[in-house]
């Protein structure tokens, strides 16, 4: 068998050489120039020669492309290490059951996709039989990013090896009964099978890149040796149009991620038609990946084409293949031999002569069926070449036919992505094509049967033996039992309880200081993964550079310009910080890989990702849903939060809505802390719930979203009243009363409750003073650390009531007996505090920063949005006036006094 390390893919081997002596002379000339004048001169001459050829109209591949042929010549293909006949039968059963499952489900109207797996079956089967390492062997196994629309084929294989039964297949896309299968790969819905949710197109590719990179990170830091783990990402050629699909290609090549392989199923079709109707998507992708520094392996044509290439003595066939657009290739798939003779071969006299030597059956075999992605030998060779290549990631461009083996009604039809079922007659044709022992009588009442050769059949034994040799079932998700992480020393959290005295401290800085203390913890410090998208200095994190180091596989090959400074820029091979440059999408992919390491690798990591809050939920919310789907754990920190706190930056940086978006994600625990001690209490609770001992009924598979501010303010001491810690975590506690604030109210003075979150509590405290001193109104101030958690608790109480259980929402308990109306204020749109309005028994009103942001000072912005202290006073007086507790004229007087 050919040594895979010796495979040197070269499309030139597919082309005829009519004058080897002349070729040798050209090569000798190049060698002579290289020896005499050096490689740069040789490269210069080659480039100028190629430019001259292009200018003369000579048809040559572009510099980043090769001809439209296989990278690995047939003669260099290694023999498949296995029983190809058995693998053929296994694949046939899986094709059948995938189609049957979707067709049977169509009677319920739940949909499904048939054509994608039909095109990609051998891409998966070859990997499962020979390459994909499972999790029951040494290490973590391989990580598989399965193309979402191919999920029926994966379920069919799990059925064949006994991991799923017929009842579960019949409940495809019907999960409400508790024994169903999710439409697509989804760890939260089927956590023993799926590791990675991939159907949101574009997220699989970028996640796979950063997963491969995170594997290297864990190895370099000595957390776990993952040198034997490989990341495989299965993608569609249409999916590669998504920006996330290609945004991190250069990262993968720059860091030499040869533990990563992309397998792109080039069936030339997207959801509604051809991917590149007038062009060639394979050539485009090849140029893109080569330009980004990847190793490219093309597997385009099956063995039936070997005879045609041998007849191509002058390269006419290769030239014709290069010029035919994809949509026409798709048309050939659906037309007869006469059409192909005329349209493909008839365009060139030499090809017309070649066609005379070919039978109609041979032409149809080549153009209808024979593709590199449909033959185990071709796919096997490509996978072996990918694993043998070192120093760069590999992309395999495998050409297939969408709807392959499903019959002429499916193959290459523009509508096949929306076609959800086959007729009985189409199934019988498919049965005959695949050679399956299914009788006509097995179709009872027109229902297509599932097929299974038997638990002790040669097919099943072979499948299970191959998987056992490779380390167990795949795909599979395993959460290995690990001891809860010990709680860090209490001192790290209590250091904020005394406040900051006369020093102004932003909550962003409080969070960074807390993390600095936590990463020093002897037990858990190494588990922290700080992630930042090139804004570390904005958030005051540069002090972490020299102590933790910034991860780089090359270490630091230069002398940093600030080497003589205390907080110099330090990169290291074992660096702890992931400083990603200007890429929120890449940073989120980092976070997802780190936050799920407890399952992927059995290693608990504690990631925190700090970012401009405006560029989180607004820009990368799809990945935050992916994070929740993948059961990730960690801390997302939206810094420079709020619509009015980021002075001068204006509309595109002003976040007035991230808590509203975050509230839509069930896995996100969203907090808007006002004070440093609140930040500490929330992080402490997060470490307990996600990494320590979760309380009964608590789901540890959540992540915390904290908004923190860059506005330096005095940090007060933590109130000594009972229940403060509980209130911080649950979302609301009373910070002070008019009396405890030293604002002695008159007897029977009107009273109002001011609820503030985040930086808004400082305006509420100023308003509390103005109300007392200028209007004779007593106000109590409450810190609402989480409007969203208050709402969720209240909704759970409502659900309990429907079950006949009596539960009082926490927000109602907290405010019970509080006198007067409630006025809530935040630096976000009013929708954020209004989440809890229906569960507040007191009269409710709110203020918020609705609308677009603007550039100005903080004070001017707050006056513009009507959320500053004076605006709060006017709103409070208006609320009290409506209840008849202050004179109506007070409202007009206040507006005029404050210039509103």
Query: Scanning the structure block, which residue is given the tokens 């040799």?
Result: 469
What is the DSSP pairing of strand 713-714 with strand 504-505?
antiparallel
Query: Scanning the structure block, which residue is given the tokens 């029983």?
Result: 83
Count CB neighbours of 235 within 10 A.
24
Q: Structure tokens of 246?
A: 């290609």
Instruction: Tell me the HSE value of 711 on the side-chain side, using a 13 A CA sphere.
Output: 23
What is the DSSP pairing of strand 260-266 with strand 550-551?
unpaired
How many Å from the N-terminal Cα to the C-terminal Cα in the chain?
A: 85
Q: Structure tokens of 311?
A: 């007849």
Residue 702 to residue 713: CA distance in whole angstroms: 30
Phi-psi region of 138 (alpha: psi -120 to 50; beta: other; left: phi over 0): beta
| Spatial contact of 797 and 751, defined as CB atoms under 8 Å apart | no
Q: Structure tokens of 376?
A: 């185990």
What is the DSSP pairing of strand 394-399 with strand 504-505?
unpaired
Buried b (16+ CB within 10 A) or exposed e, 244-279: bbbbbbebbbebbbbbbbbbbbbbbbbeeebbbeee
Q: What pLDDT shows up at residue 631?
A: 97
Residue 766 to residue 709: CA distance in whole angstroms: 18
| Spatial contact of 70 and 79, defined as CB atoms under 8 Å apart | no
Peptide bond into 207 cis (omega under 30): no
Residue 753 to residue 743: CA distance in whole angstroms: 15
Residue 830 to residue 874: CA distance in whole angstroms: 17
- Which ranges of the chain have pLDDT less than 50? 1-12
Residue 440, burial from CB neighbour count under 10 angstroms (0-12, 13-18, 19+): exposed
Peptide bond into 475 cis (omega under 30): yes
Buried b (16+ CB within 10 A) or exposed e, 441-450: eebeeeebbb
Phi-psi region of 391 (alpha: psi -120 to 50; beta: other; left: phi over 0): left
Give 311-369 pLDDT, tens digit per residue. 998 889 999 999 999 999 999 999 999 999 999 999 999 999 999 999 999 999 999 99
Residue 515 to residue 535: CA distance in whole angstroms: 16
Triad 860, 861, 866: Cα angle to 5°? 95
SS3 assignment, position 662: helix
SS3 assignment, position 195: coil
Give 102-156 pLDDT, tens digit per residue. 999 988 888 888 889 999 999 999 999 999 999 998 889 999 999 999 999 999 9
List alpha helices for 161-302, DSSP H.
Answer: 166-170, 203-220, 243-246, 249-254, 281-291
Bridge partners of residue 231, in order along the sequence: 143, 260
What DSSP state is assigned to residue 488?
P
Q: What pLDDT shows up at residue 413?
A: 65
Q: What pLDDT shows up at residue 415?
A: 58
Chain length of the chain: 900
Residue 821 to residue 103: CA distance in whole angstroms: 59
Q: What pLDDT shows up at residue 5?
A: 42
């Amino acid at each position: 068998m050919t040594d895979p390390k010796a495979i040197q893919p070269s499309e030139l081997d597919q082309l005829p050489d009519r004058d080897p002596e002349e070729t040798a002379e050209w090569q000798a000339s190049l060698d002579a120039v290289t020896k005499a004048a050096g490689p740069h001169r040789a490269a210069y001459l080659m480039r100028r020669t190629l430019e001259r050829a292009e200018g003369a109209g000579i048809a040559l591949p572009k510099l980043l492309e090769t001809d439209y042929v296989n990278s690995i010549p047939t003669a260099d293909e290694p023999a498949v290490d296995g029983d190809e006949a058995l693998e053929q039968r296994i694949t046939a059963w899986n094709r059948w059951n995938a189609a049957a499952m979707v067709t049977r489900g169509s009677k319920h109207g739940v949909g499904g996709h048939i054509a994608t797996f039909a095109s990609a079956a051998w891409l998966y089967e070859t990997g499962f039989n020979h390459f994909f390492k499972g999790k029951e062997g040494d290490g973590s196994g391989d990580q598989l990013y399965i193309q979402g629309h191919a999920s029926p084929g994966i379920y069919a294989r799990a059925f064949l090896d006994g991991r799923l039964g017929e009842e579960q297949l019949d409940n495809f896309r019907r999960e409400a009964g508790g024994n169903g299968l999710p439409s697509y790969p989804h760890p939260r819905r089927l956590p023993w099978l799926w590791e990675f949710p991939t159907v949101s197109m574009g997220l699989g590719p970028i996640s796979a890149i950063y997963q491969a990179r995170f594997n290297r990170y864990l190895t370099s830091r000595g957390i776990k040796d993952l040198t034997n783990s490989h990341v495989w990402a299965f993608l569609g050629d249409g999916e590669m149009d998504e920006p996330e699909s290609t945004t991190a290609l250069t990262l993968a090549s720059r860091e030499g991620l040869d533990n990563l392989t992309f397998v792109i199923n080039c069936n030339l079709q997207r959801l509604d038609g051809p991917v590149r109707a007038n062009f060639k998507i394979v050539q485009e992708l090849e140029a893109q990946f080569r330009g980004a520094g990847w190793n490219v392996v093309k597997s385009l044509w099956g063995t039936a084409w070997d005879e045609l290439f041998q007849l191509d003595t002058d390269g006419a066939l290769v030239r014709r293949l290069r010029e035919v657009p994809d949509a026409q290739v798709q048309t050939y798939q659906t037309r007869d031999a006469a059409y192909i003779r005329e349209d493909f071969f008839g365009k060139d006299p030499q090809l017309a002569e070649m066609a005379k030597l070919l039978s109609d059956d041979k032409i149809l075999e080549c153009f209808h069926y024979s593709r590199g992605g449909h033959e185990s030998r071709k796919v096997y060779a490509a996978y072996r070449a990918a694993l043998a290549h070192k120093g760069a990631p590999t992309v395999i461009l495998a050409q297939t036919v969408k709807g392959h083996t499903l019959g002429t009604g499916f193959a290459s039809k523009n509508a096949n992505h929306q076609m959800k079922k086959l007729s009985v007659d189409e199934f019988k044709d498919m049965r005959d094509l695949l050679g399956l022992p299914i009788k006509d009588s097995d179709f009872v009442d027109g229902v297509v049967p599932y097929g299974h050769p038997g638990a002790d059949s040669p097919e099943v034994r072979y499948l299970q033996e191959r998987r056992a040799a490779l380390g167990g079932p795949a795909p599979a998700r395993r959460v290995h039992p690990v001891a809860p992480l010990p709680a860090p020393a209490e001192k790290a959290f209590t250091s904020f309880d005394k406040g900051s005295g006369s020093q102004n401290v932003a909550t962003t800085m409080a969070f960074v200081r807390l993390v600095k203390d936590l990463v020093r913890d002897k037990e858990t410090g190494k588990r922290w993964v700080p992630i930042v998208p090139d804004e570390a200095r904005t958030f005051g994190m540069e002090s972490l550079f020299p102590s933790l180091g910034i991860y780089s596989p090359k270490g630091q090959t230069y002398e940093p310009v600030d080497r003589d400074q205390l907080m110099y820029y330090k990169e290291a091979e074992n660096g702890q910080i992931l400083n990603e440059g200007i890429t929120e999408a890449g940073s989120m992919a980092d976070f997802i890989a780190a936050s799920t390491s407890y399952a992927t690798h059995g290693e608990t990591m504690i990631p925190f990702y700090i970012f401009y809050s405006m560029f989180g939920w607004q820009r990368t919310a799809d990945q935050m849903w992916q994070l929740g789907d993948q059961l990730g754990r960690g801390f997302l920190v939206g810094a420079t939060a709020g619509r009015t706190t980021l002075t001068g930056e204006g509309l595109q940086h002003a976040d007035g809505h991230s808590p509203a978006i975050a509230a839509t994600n069930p896995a996100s625990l969203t907090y808007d802390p006002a004070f440093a001690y609140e930040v500490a209490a929330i992080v402490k609770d997060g470490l307990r719930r996600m990494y320590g001992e979760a309380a009964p009924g608590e789901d540890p598979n959540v992540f915390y979203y904290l908004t923190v501010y860059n506005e330096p303010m005095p940090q007060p001491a933590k109130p000594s009243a009972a229940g403060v810690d509980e209130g911080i975590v649950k979302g609301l506690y009373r910070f002070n009363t008019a009396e405890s604030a030293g604002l002695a109210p008159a007897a029977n003075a009107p009273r109002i409750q001011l609820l503030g979150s985040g930086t808004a509590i400082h305006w509420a405290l100023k308003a509390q003073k103005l109300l007392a001193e200028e209007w004779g109104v007593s106000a109590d101030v409450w810190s609402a650390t989480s409007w969203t958690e208050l709402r969720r608790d209240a909704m759970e109480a409502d659900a309990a009531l429907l079950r006949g259980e009596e539960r009082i929402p926490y927000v109602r308990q907290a405010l019970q007996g509080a006198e007067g109306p409630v006025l809530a204020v935040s630096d976000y749109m009013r929708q954020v505090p209004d989440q809890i309005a229906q569960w507040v028994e007191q009269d409710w009103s709110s203020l918020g920063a609705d609308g677009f942001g603007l550039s100005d000072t903080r004070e001017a912005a707050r006056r513009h949005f009507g959320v500053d202290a004076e605006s709060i006073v006017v709103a409070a007086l208006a609320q009290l006036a409506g209840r008849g507790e202050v004179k109506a004229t007070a409202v007009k007087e206040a507006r005029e006094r404050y210039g509103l």
